[in-house]
């Protein structure tokens, strides 16, 4: 199905199931431990062995010698795989550095060997007996030092009007530099895979957000026909962008299984995850704002510097600044430095999340300079069209409504605009706000649907559920479309033998994947109508039946003795070019800072989101409160500490990389505005999983400023950065 004109009324609009806060259909499996994650599919294979990954101990250089003799002779060892004996491997298209390194080493903890043994302990013991000699090369590991050599990224440059002139002429200006650190996805389930060969065919149970990409990359890397590789990933313990691409666990499990002649399971050891896999790159962001005394922005400039491996990508931290606020004169620019740190790549809301960490502090600073309330300053600078192209409207844009409703619900009026004034005993308290913005992306997505003779519906698509609720919203979509109950629908996900879906990334999954299921259901409705002699245009699907006039037939009759099987996909035309499709929100936070110790505690959080039709308010709320929690981490805790001499992230485990725990998180409230976006898809939905993160950290930083009077521009906001600047307690 081609989607190239705005959606009209369709069966989803009934919203008897879609739009309802239904429990997760996989909830029982999850809570009883029966949902099998990648490392737990051992029952599917016979006599599997264990793989242990050896990571490079240098960041850049060459392996000059590798002595495998002791490892090979160690008890239980079945094989030792290295680049020297793995056979020819092609380079995939999605990883900057090879997943199996050697003799060249591209980054610290790049995998350089896999030891396969009968037990995990034997594999680990043998891996530690491998002796590796390195010739270390000089590398660049310091973004600040590499800033001057960073190259302009052409695609990112955008200019409207004459920014420099308008900025110079503006009566009120702000120029400030903000920094965000490298961050790790730190998902609960590490990257893990079990690989099994059957002749020249390979099956890999893995943990991956994008099944079709992963299967394609693995086939390409192993120089195999695509159809000989099958990826299975039914449950995923978090991804956040760290599992968008094929990683070393899957490739090494496949190579290890081939070398050992046995199925092999590999979980990337937790201490390897931060340096072996991708991370969100650090940024240095320079923001310049110019406004009239009336508070209207006349000049808005945002430049960002980030680093990556040679051939890598910038963190697109300026994108939201093109679209979020009005202003006739605009400038954005990214600059990319070559660094020899581990590979940078997407992490939840890549671009907007770190971009808004800076921009939304700048907006708070500018409001203060103008003597305006920060909510009102944002509302004053709202735009209903793309500010770079006034002929291009937003499909929906309720930023103002989010801000106004949030301010009212949160009690924003209680905020003292003079910072450092509000006290609660020894605590300095403050309120902060930030706008949330994330673009809505759409992706082709397919599904196959089977109708059986009892009227049961089975949906098959390679869509993944990374903890988001995909199973549930897909079942809701199919049940709504076919007029059956939720108990009549079975959803099978995460298998590359199913039709390729949008996958889980960029908050496009919910809208795109359910739209693919919608398309397949439209086809099934036509097939049912035709089989049973109905005109599909005026047939109604309800209560497990198809009916028209006073004729009604049970759906299962259309399947006959076998099954009725259809397949279709949604393909998106140019509606995302003709309309700017974005999601909006507002975050409100109350913090308390201990006036003696500087300890910062979050007291309350509220998110108001406008993101098209909310397919399931319960799973969507869970996405947003999870994202708000992640935002607390980004504001107050998360930082991969860079060793600038040796080029690696030092705190590469969950003891050293701090993320929030329950005790850090107060009551959180989420409000979804009533919205349907007919331009986004027939589902009229958009994504919320990334929107919920965008702006959170800045709202916290602004609240800390309101509480203490200290303006912090370098994340994370830890007390060492402000302890000596707290106001004296009167
Ligand atoms: Mo998302 S960072 O595209 O998983």
Instruction: List, in order of start, the domains of the chain with CATH numbers.
Output: 2-35+443-573 (3.30.365.10), 392-440+581-725 (3.30.365.10)
In ligand 1, the atom with minimum distance to the C-alpha of 506 is: 3
**Ligand 1 atom at minimum distance from 349 CA:** 2
Is 690 annotated as catalytic? yes
Dist. CA 506 → ligand 1 center (Å): 5
The Cβ of residue 452 has, within 10 Å, a number of other Cβ atoms equal to 18
What is the rounded average pLDDT of the residues 368-394? 96
End-to-end C-alpha distance for the chain, whole angstroms: 68
Question: Is the pLDDT assigned to residue 28 strictly greater than 60?
Answer: yes
Say if residue 580's pLDDT is above 80.
Answer: yes
pLDDT higher than 70, residue 330: yes
Span 398-427, pLDDT tens digits: 999 999 999 999 999 999 999 999 999 999
Please name every residue paired with 294 in a beta bridge, in sequence order, or none if there are none: none
At 555, give phi and psi (nearest 5°).
Answer: -55, -40
User: 276: CA distance to ligand 1 center in Å?
Assistant: 18
Rounded to the nearest whole angstrom, what is the distance from the C-alpha of residue 280 to the centroid of ligand 1?
A: 11
Dist. CA 316 → ligand 1 center (Å) = 13
Report the distance separating Cα 191 and Cα 690, nearest Å. 21
DSSP three-state, residue 505: coil
Quick one: which of 142, 124, 107 has its CA closest to 51?
A: 124
> Cα(611)–Cα(321) distance, rounded to whole angstroms?
19
User: What is the three-state SS of 292-356?
Assistant: CCCCCEEEEEEEEEEEECCCCCCCCCCHHHHCCCCCCEEEEEEEEEECCCCCECCCCCCCHHHHH
Mean pLDDT of 309-325: 96
Q: Which of 689, 690, 692, 694 to mutate to test the pocket of ligand 1 (most atoms within 8 A of CB)?
A: 690
Distance CA 482, CA 459 (A): 12
The pLDDT tens digits for 626-667 are 999 999 999 999 999 999 999 999 999 999 999 999 999 998
Place of tokens 């594999």: 123
Q: What is the pLDDT of residues 60-92, one digit of tens each?
A: 999 999 999 999 999 999 999 999 999 999 988
Average pLDDT, the chain: 97
Q: Which residue has the tokens 């990683």?
A: 247
Mean pLDDT, rounded, for 137-161: 92
The DSSP result for 510-575, as a single string, is: HHHHHHHHHHHHHHHHHHHHHHHT--TTT-EEETTEEEETTEEEEGGGGGTTSEEEEEEEEEE-SH
* Total Cβ atoms within 10 A of residue 664: 16
Q: Order the strands of the 445-452 sheet from edge to edge.
A: 2-3, 563-572, 445-452, 457-460, 489-492
Q: Which atom of ligand 1 is nearest to the CA of 348?
A: 2
DSSP 42-80: GGGSSS-EEEEEEEPSSSSEEEEEEE-HHHHHSTTEEEE
Q: Say which DSSP state 641 is in.
A: -
- Nearest residue to 362 via CA among 435, 430, 437, 305: 435
Cα 21 to ligand 1 centroid, rounded to whole Å: 25
| Three-state DSSP state, 582 | strand
Mean pLDDT across the stretch 573-583?
96
Residue 37: strand, helix, or coil: coil
Contact assessment for residue 268 and residue 191, using Cβ atoms and an 8 Å cutoff: yes
| Sequence-separated (6 or more) residues with CB below 8 Å from residue 516 | 444, 445, 446, 447, 461, 463, 499, 501, 502, 568, 569, 570
Residues with CB under 6 A from ligand 1: 209, 239-241, 244, 346-348, 350, 505-506
d(CA 715, CA 328): 30
> Does pLDDT of 376 surpass 70?
yes
Question: Residues 398, 383: contact at Cβ < 8 Å?
Answer: no
Q: Which atom of ligand 1 is nearest to 508's Cα? A: 3
Index of the ligand 1 atom closest to the CA of residue 466? 4
Going from the C-alpha of 474 to that of each of 84, 166, 211, 698, the distances in angstroms are 45, 50, 17, 34
Point out the ligand 1 atom lying closest to the alpha carbon of residue 504: 4
Q: From CA 529, how far away is CA 534, in angstroms rounded?
A: 5
d(CA 280, CA 620): 24
pLDDT over 60 at 290, yes or no? yes
Question: How far is ligand 1, taken at its centre, from the CA of residue 612, in Å?
Answer: 19
| Model pLDDT for residues 668-684, shown as the tens digit of each residue | 999 999 999 999 999 99
The partner residues of 490 in beta bridges, in order of sequence, read 458
Catalytically annotated residue among 401, 571, 690, 728: 690
Please say whether the beta carbons of 502 and 445 come within 8 A: yes
SS3 helix, strand, coil % of the chain, rounded to 5? Answer: 30, 30, 45
pLDDT of residue 596: 94
Q: Which two tokens stand for residue 413?
A: 């009026």
Task: Read off the pLDDT band of 156 (50, 70, 90).
Answer: confident
pLDDT one-digit tens code per residue, 182-220: 999 999 999 999 999 999 999 999 999 999 999 999 999
Which residue out of 213, 244, 439 has the highest number of ligand 1 atoms within 8 Å of its CB and is therefore the one to mutate? Answer: 244
Substitution site in 238, 315, 506, 630 for ligand 1 pocket (most atoms within 8 Å of beta carbon): 506
Inter-CA distances, 145 with 1, 307, 422, Å: 51, 11, 40
pLDDT score recorded for residue 552: 97
Number of the ligand 1 atom closest to the C-alpha atom of 243: 4
Q: CA-CA distances (angstroms) from residue 616 to 20, 23, 173, 467?
A: 5, 9, 43, 14
Which of 354, 361, 346, 356 shows the shortest CA–CA distance to 441?
Answer: 346
How far, in Å, is the centroid of ligand 1 from the Cα of 214? 14
Residue 378 to residues 294, 600, 678, Cα–Cα distance (Å): 13, 26, 26
Contact between 347 and 280 (Cβ < 8 Å): yes
Q: H or E element: which one contains 366?
A: helix 352-370
pLDDT tens digit sequence for 424-467: 999 999 999 999 999 999 999 999 999 999 999 999 999 999 99
Which of 186, 350, 354 is the pocket-test mutation for ligand 1 (most atoms within 8 Å of CB)?
Answer: 350
In this prediction, residue 730 carries a pLDDT of 56
Q: What is the 3-state secondary structure (H, E, C) of 654-702?
A: CCCCCCCCHHHCCCEEEEECCCCCCCCCCCCECCCCCCCCCCHHHHHHH
Three-class DSSP category at 417? coil
- Quote the distance between the C-alpha of residue 177 and its chain's center: 26
Instruction: State how far the alpha carbon of 271 is from the alpha carbons of 186, 309, 483, 656, in Å.
Output: 11, 21, 49, 10
The pLDDT of residue 729 is: 65
**With pLDDT > 90 as the criterion, what percentage of the chain qualifies?**
97
CA of 535 to the centre of ligand 1 (A): 42
Region at 458 (left for phi over 0; alpha for psi -120 to 50; beta for the rest):
beta
Identify the residue with better confidence: 244 or 42: 244
Q: For residues 729 and 727, what is the distance between their CA atoms, to the nearest angstrom?
A: 6
Question: How far lies 621's CA from each of 273, 341, 357, 676, 691, in Å?
Answer: 29, 36, 22, 17, 12
- Residues 497, 649: Cα–Cα separation, whole Å: 38
Kindly report the protein residue whose alpha carbon is nearest to atom 4 of ligand 1: 241
Sign of CA dihedral 457, 612, 23, 491: positive
Residue 281, pLDDT above cutoff 60: yes
Instruction: Give the DSSP H/E element, type plus range, for residue 708.
Output: helix 696-708
């Amino acid at each position: 199905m081609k989607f190239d004109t705005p959606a009209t009324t369709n069966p989803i609009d009934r919203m008897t199931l879609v739009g309802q806060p239904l429990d997760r259909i996989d909830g029982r499996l999850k809570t009883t431990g029966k949902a099998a994650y990648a490392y737990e599919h051992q029952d599917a294979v016979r006599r599997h062995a264990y793989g242990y990954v050896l990571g490079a101990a240098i960041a850049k250089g060459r392996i000059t010698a590798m002595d495998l003799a002791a490892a090979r002779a160690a008890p239980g060892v079945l094989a030792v795989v290295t680049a020297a004996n793995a056979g020819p491997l092609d380079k995939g298209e999605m990883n900057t550095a090879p997943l199996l390194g050697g003799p060249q080493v591209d980054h610290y903890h790049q995998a350089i060997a896999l030891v396969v043994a009968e037990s995990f302990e034997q594999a680990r013991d043998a891996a530690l007996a491998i002796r590796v000699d390195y010739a270390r090369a000089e590398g660049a590991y310091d973004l600040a030092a590499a800033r001057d050599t960073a190259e302009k990224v052409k695609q990112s440059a955008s200019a409207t009007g004459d920014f420099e002139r308008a900025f110079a002429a503006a009566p009120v200006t702000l120029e400030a530099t903000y920094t965000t650190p490298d961050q790790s996805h730190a998902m609960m389930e590490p990257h893990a895979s079990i690989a099994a060969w059957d002749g020249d065919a390979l099956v890999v149970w893995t943990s991956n957000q994008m099944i079709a990409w992963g299967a394609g990359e693995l086939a390409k890397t192993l120089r195999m026909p695509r159809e000989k590789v099958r990826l299975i990933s039914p449950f995923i313990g978090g991804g956040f962008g760290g599992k968008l691409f094929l990683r070393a666990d899957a490739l090494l499990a496949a190579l290890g299984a081939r070398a050992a002649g046995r199925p092999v399971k590999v979980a990337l050891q937790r201490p390897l995850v931060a340096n072996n896999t991708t991370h969100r790159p650090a940024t240095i962001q320079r923001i310049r704002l110019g406004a009239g005394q009336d508070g209207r922005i006349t000049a808005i400039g945002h430049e960002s510097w980030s680093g990556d491996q040679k051939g890598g990508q910038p963190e697109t931290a300026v994108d939201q600044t093109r679209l979020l606020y009005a202003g006739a004169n605009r400038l954005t620019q990214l600059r990319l430095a070559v660094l020899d740190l581990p590979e940078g790549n997407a992490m939840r809301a890549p671009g907007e999340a770190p971009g808004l960490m800076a921009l939304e502090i700048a907006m708070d600073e500018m409001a203060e300079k103008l003597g305006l309330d920060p909510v009102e300053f944002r509302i004053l600078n709202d735009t209903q069209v793309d500010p770079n192209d006034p002929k291009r409207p937003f499909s929906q844009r309720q930023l103002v409504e989010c801000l106004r409703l949030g301010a009212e619900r949160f009690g924003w009026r209680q905020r003292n605009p003079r910072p450092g004034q509000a006290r609660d005993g020894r605590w300095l308290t403050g309120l902060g706000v930030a706008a949330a913005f994330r673009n809505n992306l759409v992706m082709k997505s397919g599904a196959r649907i089977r109708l059986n003779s009892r009227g049961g519906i089975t949906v098959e698509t390679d869509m993944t559920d990374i903890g988001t609720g995909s199973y549930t919203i897909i079942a809701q979509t199919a049940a709504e479309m076919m007029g059956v109950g939720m108990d009549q629908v079975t959803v099978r996900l995460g298998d590359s033998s199913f039709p390729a879906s949008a996958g889980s990334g960029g908050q496009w999954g919910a809208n795109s994947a359910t739209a693919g299921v919608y398309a397949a259901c439209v086809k099934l409705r036509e097939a049912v109508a035709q089989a049973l002699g109905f005109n599909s245009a005026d047939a109604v699907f309800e209560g497990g039946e198809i009916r028209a006039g006073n004729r009604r037939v049970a759906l299962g009759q259309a399947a006959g003795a076998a099954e009725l099987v259809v397949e279709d996909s949604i393909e998106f035309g140019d509606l995302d070019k003709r309309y700017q499709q974005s999601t909006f929100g507002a975050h409100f936070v109350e913090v308390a800072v201990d006036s003696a110790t500087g300890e910062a505690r979050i007291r309350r959080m509220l998110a108001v989101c406008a993101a098209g039709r909310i397919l399931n308010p319960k799973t969507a709320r869970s996405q947003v409160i999870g994202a708000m929690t992640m935002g607390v981490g980004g504001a107050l805790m998360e930082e991969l500490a860079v060793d600038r001499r040796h080029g690696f992230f030092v705190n590469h485990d969950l003891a050293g990389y701090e993320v929030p725990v329950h005790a850090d998180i107060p009551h959180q409230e989420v409000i979804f505005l009533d919205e349907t976006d007919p331009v986004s898809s027939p589902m009229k939905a958009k994504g919320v999983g990334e929107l919920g993160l965008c702006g959170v950290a800045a709202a916290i930083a602004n609240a800390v400023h309101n509480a203490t009077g200290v303006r912090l521009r370098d994340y994370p906001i830890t007390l060492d950065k402000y302890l000596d600047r707290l106001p004296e307690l009167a």
